[in-house]
Amino acid sequence: MSDGSDIPDNLVRRVGWPGSVSRAVATPLQPSVVYASADPDQLDAQYEGRLSGFTYAREGHPNADVLAQKIDALEGAPLTGGLILGSGMAAVSAVLLGLLKAGDRVLGGNQLYGRSLRLMSQDLPRFGIGADLADPTDAEAFRAAIRPETRLILVEVVSNPTLRIADMEAILTIGREAGIPVAVDNTFTTPRGYRPFDHGADIVIHSVTKLLAGHSDVTLGYVATRDPSQRQAIRDFAVTTGMTPSPFDCWLAERGLMSFHLRYDRAEENAAALAGFLAGQPGVRRVIYPGRSDHPDHNRAAGLLGKRGGNMLSFELEGGRAAANALTRAMPDVAFAPTLGDIGTTLSHPASSSHRALTPEGRAALGISEGFFRVSVGVEDIDLLRRDIGAGIKATALSR
């Protein structure tokens, strides 16, 4: 029996990575939290930017950099490059809190994602930062909402969940003329539909969790800036507050990103077909899809997005909450889940999820009723989607 003296001493020492004349086809996963430098001089050189290298995962790691570079390429990001953060809301928060200080104000679209609205209305004021909201489809209302203290504009090209199309050309012009940076949350539209930097935006934000990663198994955010000093301010805030992205999530998101174009195009095709199907169903009051001629901003959508209607659609049922319950219960194969961008179709009810913090009056002002649903259309066979959603619509008749 061994007394333990023959146990190799290097079991707890780092062994060099095996060399190879060939290379890995898949990106390696690197979960290490810390990275060893040769000496203090080298570490100084790394922190001062004279040498490139990783130090501590909260400050960056290889899998985040690989993912950022791929999204940079999709978005046509400036050479400063983007940052990967722990979630989409981490990206939004890092932009607002990294760039604004007490006494500043941010102007946002009045139909932003629900948590973005909450951050602006409830959290920023605790730090002395004010927020104003305006209709992004009304350029003059947006211009009128600017105050002397306004230091940032935040908009989404396509609003969540009502799918209204912002007057991006006018808003970008307003920001440029006023010297106010414009940040665009491009999560819904994706660079497949619209590339904000190409049109003069200063900052681009994504919830990578959604369409870019595409499989509901990742929580990540992305932000890129035109101005290197803004990038540094956002990065400093994110590092200090620990908005660290998981290497494994970055690795999964990169894998999901490889099929992004294929997934997006198939889901977009399905969404257009499903919108047409829903429009002909009894008990459906309205269908909202940017590619339809009856969309309230159809002409603007055609100008901004061309033929790209996207994978998102919304519709409103007659019968309120009772009809909403009947619909979801009759469609067990379509996930009723407060998310979007999955490879499979998901159904969301804003009144009970993303916009539940608003009063009924506040939701009504945005056109969100108890019968209002948002659909993130996936890549399934369209006949299956018609069958499942058709069964749900039929079930609502019994609730009315």
Phi, psi values for residue 153, rounded to 5°: -120, 135
Alpha carbon of residue 136 to chain centroid: 18
Q: 372-376 and 312-317: which strand pairing?
A: antiparallel
Which two structure tokens, joined as six digits, stand for 299? Answer: 């002409």
Report pLDDT digits (tens) over 182-238. Answer: 999 999 999 999 999 999 999 999 999 999 999 999 999 999 999 999 999 999 999
Looking at the domain assignment, is residue 366 inside a domain? yes
What is the rounded CA–CA span in Å between residue 217 and residue 135? 33
- Tell me, yes or no, whether 52 lies in a domain: no
pLDDT of residue 355: 78
CATH number at residue 279: 3.90.1150.10
Task: Return d(Cα 141, Cα 72) in angstroms, integer.
Answer: 32
Average pLDDT for 103-120: 93
231 with 91, same domain: the answer is yes
Please report the pLDDT score of residue 359 as a whole number.
Answer: 85
Q: What is the pLDDT of residue 179?
A: 97
The last residue of a domain, from among 257, 281, 297 = 257
273 and 379 both lie in a single domain = yes
Q: Is the domain of 91 the same as that of 228?
A: yes
Question: What percent of the chain has a predicted confidence (pLDDT) above 70?
Answer: 96
What's residue 252's pLDDT? 98
Last residue within a domain, chosen from 240, 257, 274: 257
Report whether 130 contacts 124 (CB < 8 A).
yes
Whether residue 25 is contained in a domain is answered as no
Q: What is the pLDDT of residue 363?
A: 87
Number of domains in the chain: 2
Residues with Cβ within 8 Å of 130's Cβ and at least 6 positions away in sequence, in order, are 104, 105, 106, 124, 149
Residues 28-50 pLDDT 10s: 999 999 999 999 999 999 999 99
Q: What torsion, rounded to 10 degrees, do the Cα atoms 237, 49, 87, 111 define?
A: 60
Please state, in angstroms and as integers, the Cα–Cα distance from residue 269 to each residue in 81, 188, 311, 378, following that order. Answer: 32, 16, 8, 10
Can you tell me the mean pLDDT for 342-351?
95
Dig out the tokens for 238 from the structure: 């994110």
**pLDDT tens digits along 356-375:** 877 889 888 888 999 999 99
Reduce the secondary structure of the chain to three states and give it as a string. CCCCCCCCHHHHCCCCCCCCCCCCCCCCCCCCCECCCCCHHHHHHHHCCCCCCCCEHHHCCHHHHHHHHHHHHHHCCCCCCCEEECCHHHHHHHHHHHHCCCCCEEEEECCCCHHHHHHHHHHHHHHCCEEEEECCCCHHHHHHCCCCCEEEEEEECECCCCCCECCHHHHHHHHHHHCCCEEEECCCCHHHHCCHHHHCCCEEEEECCCCCCCCCCCCCEEEEECCHHHHHHHHHHHHHCCCCCCHHHHHHHHHHHCCHHHHHHHHHHHHHHHHHHHHCCCCEEEEECCCCCCCCCHHHHHHHHCCCCCCEEEEEECCHHHHHHHHHHCCCCCEECCCCCCCCCEEECHHHCCCCCCCHHHHHHHCCCCCEEEEECCCCCHHHHHHHHHHHHHHHHCCC
**Dihedral sign, CA of 226, 229, 235, 237?**
negative
Domain shared by 249 and 146, yes or no: yes
Indicate if 108 and 226 belong to the same structural domain.
yes
Percent of the chain with pLDDT over 90: 86
Domain shared by 327 and 253, yes or no: no
Contact 161, 348 (CB under 8 A): yes
**Do the Cβ atoms of 222 and 85 come closer than 8 Å?**
yes
Q: What is the pLDDT of residue 144?
A: 97
Which pLDDT score, from 0 to 100, does residue 365 have?
Answer: 86
Which residue, of 235, 257, 279, is where some domain finishes? 257
Look up tokens 């519709």; give the residue: 315
Confidence class for position 301, pLDDT limits 50, 70, 90: very high
Angstrom CA distances, 142 to 101, 108, 137, 184, 332, stand at: 22, 9, 8, 15, 42
How high is the mean pLDDT of the chain? 94
- 256-287 pLDDT, tens digit per residue, is 999 999 999 999 999 999 999 999 899 999 99
Q: Is residue 43 domain-resident?
A: no
**Can you give the pLDDT at residue 3?**
64
pLDDT of residue 366: 84
| 12 pLDDT higher than 90 | no
Catalytic machinery residues:
58, 113, 185, 210
Whether 146 and 164 share a structural domain: yes
Question: Do 136 and 165 fall into the same domain?
Answer: yes
**Residue 8: pLDDT over 90:** no
Check whether residue 266 and residue 174 sit in a common domain: no
User: Does residue 116 share a domain with residue 241?
Assistant: yes
- Residue 7 within a domain: no
pLDDT of residue 1: 59
CA distance linking residue 317 with residue 324, whole number of Å: 7
**What mean pLDDT do residues 149-160 have?**
96
Q: Is residue 4 part of a domain?
A: no
Let me know whether 244 and 303 are in one domain: no
- 128 lies in a domain? yes
Identify the domain containing residue 359 by its residue range. 260-397
Over residues 237-249, mean pLDDT: 97
Under the banding of pLDDT at 50, 70 and 90, the label for residue 9 is low
Is residue 48 domain-resident?
no
Q: Average pLDDT in the 111-137 region?
A: 94
CATH number, domain with residue 243: 3.40.640.10
Say what the pLDDT of residue 332 is.
93
Quick check: 310 and 290 in contact, CB under 8 A? Answer: yes
Tell me, yes or no, whether 128 and 161 share the same domain.
Answer: yes
